[in-house]
Copies of this chain bind each other. A is one copy, B any other.
Amino acid sequence: MENATLKCIVRYNGAPFAGWQRQPGQRTVQGEIEGALSRIANSPIAIQGAGRTDAGVHALGQVFSCQWPGTPPSRLAHAVSCMLAPDIHLVSVEAAQPDFNARFHAQWKRYVYAFDFGRVADPFSACFAWHVPYRVDLDLMRKTLKQFVGAHDFAGFQSAGSQIWETKRTIYTAELLHGGFCGSTDNDHLYRIELTGDGFLYKMVRNICGTLVEVARGRFTPAFAGQLLAAGDVFRGHCAPPHGLALATVSYDPYPGGAALDDADCATLSRL
């Protein structure tokens, strides 16, 4: 009997987990899902996530791939969700090409990072937004954010601990929007940054968002953020905490609008 290759979409509240990656003696998202799948399959199942979210980081649409012995049962997604605590929801399971790998075949991803700019933290958003109780200049934050759009060497926004050597990435869109990805709907102080790109280095989104808050507070200049980007060595900015971050989308199709931006596009966008 042949194996089936599966492509699965999963959504989780990262707060109670020690991150995505399986670790002995820790409650991790990968560990919980592998446990449930293995019990249903009655044989060990290993899964490959599109991205390894850190402890406390959420996912609205993480993707993983795995090999299933034989034909998977119908309604597998529902069966797995019912075996797990409400923190994890296996949204869908579908058959994929035999060589499908959720990590290596991803073409673009979208991350969302939420902020609570109220003077006092919102009781309903404390686990889903970074509370920044200072006066911030949102226009300056939005303008500085645009510097990151385009193809850049993001080595200067990568945290230590990564084994990635190729550090050029393309950011397709970078927006500062009103409202969080979760939390109370009657709170005007919630904002989010959405970043879409062909790939992200270790802690790159949190490093960008933390640095932008320092700019918006007046502690870094917008030019300093640009210098960090140009410098290309170790990150010297500010890293935002994990609980504001969610992996929103992983796509296996080309980014709409086609090819990566060329250098002229990037130069234009950087001046916005």
> A residues near B, CB below 8 A?
11-13, 58, 60, 78, 81-82, 86-91, 119-124, 126, 128, 131, 179-186
The answer, among B13, B120, B131, for a CB contact under 8 Å with A123, is B13
The CA of A60 and the CA of B187, in the complex, are separated in Å by 10
Residue numbers in B under 8 Å from A81 (CB-CB): 120
Residue of B nearest to A16 (CB): B123
The answer, among B122, B180, B181, B184, for a CB contact under 8 Å with A181, is B184
Residue of B nearest to A58 (CB): B124
Contact A120 B89 (CB under 8 A): yes
Residue of B nearest to A61 (CB): B186
The CA of A185 and the CA of B126, in the complex, are separated in Å by 16
The CA of A34 and the CA of B88, in the complex, are separated in Å by 37
Given contacts A78-B120, A120-B82, contact A126 B182 (CB under 8 A): no
Contact A123 B11 (CB under 8 A): yes
Report the copy number of this chain in the oligomer. 2
Given contacts A13-B126, A126-B13, contact A121 B86 (CB under 8 A): yes
Contact A60 B120 (CB under 8 A): no
Contact B123 A12 (CB under 8 A): yes
Contact A121 B183 (CB under 8 A): no
The CA of A86 and the CA of B87, in the complex, are separated in Å by 21
9 contacts between A and B (CB under 8 A): A11-B122, A58-B124, A86-B121, A86-B126, A86-B131, A88-B123, A180-B185, A181-B185, A182-B185
Contact B182 A89 (CB under 8 A): no
The CA of A56 and the CA of B159, in the complex, are separated in Å by 40
**Nearest chain B CB to A120 CB, angstrom units:** 4
Contact A184 B182 (CB under 8 A): yes
The CA of A91 and the CA of B60, in the complex, are separated in Å by 30
**Nearest chain B CB to A65 CB, angstrom units:** 21
Residue numbers in B under 8 Å from A181 (CB-CB): 184-186
